[in-house]
Amino acid sequence: MNYYKIDSLEKYFKIYNKSVREPEEFWGRVADENFIWYQKWDKVLEYDMINADFKWFKNAKLNIARNCLDRHLNKRGDKTAIIFEPNNPDEAAQHITYSELHERVCRMANVLKEKGIQKGDRVCIYLPMIPELAVSLLACARIGAIHSVVFAGFSASAVASRIQDSECKMVITSDGSYRGNKAIDLKGIVDEALQTCPSVESVLVVNRTNSEVQMKEGRDHWIQPLLDAAAKDNVAEIMDAEDPLFILYTSGSTGKPKGMVHTTAGYMVYTAFTFKNIFNYKGDDVYWCTADIGWITGHSYIVYGPLLNGATTVIFEGVPSYPDFSRFWDIIDKHKVNQFYTAPTAIRALAKENLSYIEKHDLSSIKVLGSVGEPINEEAWHWYNNHVGRKTAPITDTWWQTETGGIMIAPLPFITPTKPTYATLPLPGIQPVLMDERRNEIDDNQVVGSLCIKFPWPGIARTIWGDHQRYIDTYFSAFRGKYFTGDGALRDEVGYYRITGRVDDVVIVSGHNLGTAPIEDAINEHPAVAESAIVGFPHDIKGNALYGFITLKERGEGRDRDNLRREINEHIASHIGPIAKLDKIQFVSGLPKTRSGKIMRRILRKIAEGDFSNFGDITTLLNPEIVEEIKNERID
Ligand code: WT7
């Protein structure tokens, strides 16, 4: 039996059962038959779910960039690896073959080495969605440098804190970026960030917008002349299975962002396996994931998963609304996209627009649709199914996280019967469990609980950069011996999972994972603000939006409220990024607190949602009278 390709429901159950009964045998076979290794493993898995210690493919040697590129050169060197669709539809799309991509990655790898980057060094990548972004990831992987991609919508201080945390030696950026009709000065943001980043020795700059930038002598270099001068061959570094491949920051419910560390072999095997089975990619299909490579979705399912499978992957620089709301449909039609993977927030935004945007395009190439990032509501699911999938393309609702490396629960197209709003069944190797309030595993179906995973899988993050204790505390302590996802879920009568949303202080806004604590920290820095509490509330397009309850210091009391609101949002935009701005800001005279001083977010969440029933017992509050005031002045 070929374990790499599941082609029927019967085979899914067979493989799934095998993966649970004999995980080492299962993953060992998948790894053995589908990749190239310098040296095979001594043991497929060693693990400890208490101390969060995982070793997959122990002592194996490999290079993931070689698996993405070199391996395909004989068979499909002339096949398109990347289709680049620029922001401006009048600018020609680029088709980059596997051979060309290989050469570009080798040149970049040589430039990195020449600039002193060695195996294990961290490189921060702050680039728009242009081919150089994928090339940079692969070049780092090729020489064994650890990439840390920072989404190019983050502010200077967010960039700085990420660079500082992992002590990056280099930054790869561009002069600017195009997003719709805006041009953003990325290099200026990097310059500002680097004022507080002494670890950075050099900055490589891609010329994308031809805009004027400051180049700091000795530190900053235009990348193109260096690439032109570099050799076009590069011998890939021999990496250990557990050598870190990348760090990717994700927000937590408390404190500073967590640098999730993914390692080489397990991540490779898991992203390749899941891509292959979830998107039903075949032959010369064109696959397009609309996420940004700055998020895990882009790492795993724009770059690594597709390239490991020799697929053609689209990189789109722009936004769905530019030049108008037909842009996605235009791109699908233009490049004859077969698999289309996007987020519910985009679907909802596009569903609000006139159907003529979609109807004037031929979407008949679409075979499979994917959804990711947040629960997809029923209405959006049907719109996606009717208008984009023309009721023939199955929708795969993929549940996973930055920490999981790859997709965990999702229907396999043409195999698993779909059910709107359900992510359905776990992938082979994934053992989800629901836990009740007493921290016991729930065996029955038709229940809700906290979603945990009780056995390791190859794609699991290995640690938080520089803080393994925080990794244990965040993910392995709430339910001893299990990985806690932070999500709640419902399991129906046939065992399908439906993710109900976060059970912690993380809010998913437009598919972006935002911890409320860092936003509160930023707000509290404003001189007029005494204290703040942020909660999410349901929003038609964004899924959730942010509602802030803020108390002012005396000096803030006399200030004009709308000006203050504007200032606070500007402050958030410059400290975290525009995505974290608050939709509603209510100034209050106090926040509901427990006697131990903890803000009762549960109550604030209900008020923000407009649900005044069932606040629960508020008599234990230090200041129960405040609830009435907050309720009465709620912003609708
Ligand atoms: C959180 C992880 C995984 C890539 C994008 C986000 C939510 C993600 C789904 C889905 C319901 C989902 C969860 C999860 N989420 N996909 N299909 N259905 N919820 O990665 O930023 O690490 O966020 O996104 O709440 O915990 P992330």
| Average pLDDT score, the chain | 95
Predicted local distance difference test score (pLDDT) of residue 569: 96
* Cα of 537 from ligand 1 centre, angstroms: 17
Q: Which atom of ligand 1 is nearest to the CA of 371?
A: 17
Q: What is the total residue count of the chain?
A: 636
Please report the DSSP string for 410-476 in residue order: -PPTTTSPP-TT--BSBPTT--EEEE-TTSPEE-SSSEEEEEEE-S--TT---EETT-HHHHHHHHS
487 pocket-lining for ligand 1 (C-beta < 6 Å): yes
396-426 pLDDT, tens digit each: 999 999 999 999 999 999 999 999 999 999 9
499 pocket-lining for ligand 1 (C-beta < 6 Å): yes
Confidence of residue 253 (pLDDT cuts 50, 70, 90): low
Identity of the amino acid at 487: D
398 pocket-lining for ligand 1 (C-beta < 6 Å): yes
Strands (E) in 465-570, as ranges, are 483-491, 497-502, 506-509, 512-515, 529-539, 543-552
Helices marked H in 528-618: 554-557, 561-575, 601-609
Residue nearest atom 6 in ligand 1 by C-alpha distance: 373
Round to whole Å and give the CA distance between 75 and 310.
10
Confidence of residue 71 (pLDDT cuts 50, 70, 90): very high
Identity of the amino acid at 38: Y
Predicted local distance difference test score (pLDDT) of residue 556: 78
Instruction: Read off the DSSP letter of residue 237.
Output: P
Predicted local distance difference test score (pLDDT) of residue 174: 98
Coil vs helix vs strand at 255:
coil
Whether residue 103 has pLDDT greater than 80:
yes
β-strand pairing of 258-263 with 463-464: antiparallel
513 pocket-lining for ligand 1 (C-beta < 6 Å): yes
Residue nearest atom 7 in ligand 1 by C-alpha distance: 374
Residue nearest atom 11 in ligand 1 by C-alpha distance: 375
* Cα of 375 from ligand 1 centre, angstroms: 8
312 pocket-lining for ligand 1 (C-beta < 6 Å): no
Which residue(s) pair with 513 in the sheet? 508
Comparing CA positions, the residue from 145, 140, 200 lying closest to residue 169 is: 200
Residue nearest atom 5 in ligand 1 by C-alpha distance: 373
Comparing CA positions, the residue from 364, 419, 355 lying closest to residue 390 is: 364
Q: Decide which of 467 and 559 is more confident.
A: 467
Contacts of 76 (CB under 8 A, 6+ apart): 98, 310
Residue nearest atom 12 in ligand 1 by C-alpha distance: 374
Q: Which atom of ligand 1 is nearest to the CA of 407?
A: 3
Q: With contact defined as beta carbons under 8 Å apart, do 409 and 402 qualify?
A: no
* Cα of 292 from ligand 1 centre, angstroms: 14
Predicted local distance difference test score (pLDDT) of residue 379: 92
397 pocket-lining for ligand 1 (C-beta < 6 Å): yes
Q: Which atom of ligand 1 is nearest to the CA of 251?
A: 21
577-624 pLDDT, tens digit each: 999 999 999 999 999 987 666 788 889 999 999 998 878 777 777 888
Q: With contact defined as beta carbons under 8 Å apart, do 117 and 230 qualify?
A: no
Q: Which atom of ligand 1 is nearest to the CA of 376?
A: 18
ω into 578 cis (within 30 of 0): no
Whether residue 513 has pLDDT greater than 90:
no
Instruction: Read off the DSSP letter of residue 376.
Output: P
* Cα of 43 from ligand 1 centre, angstroms: 31
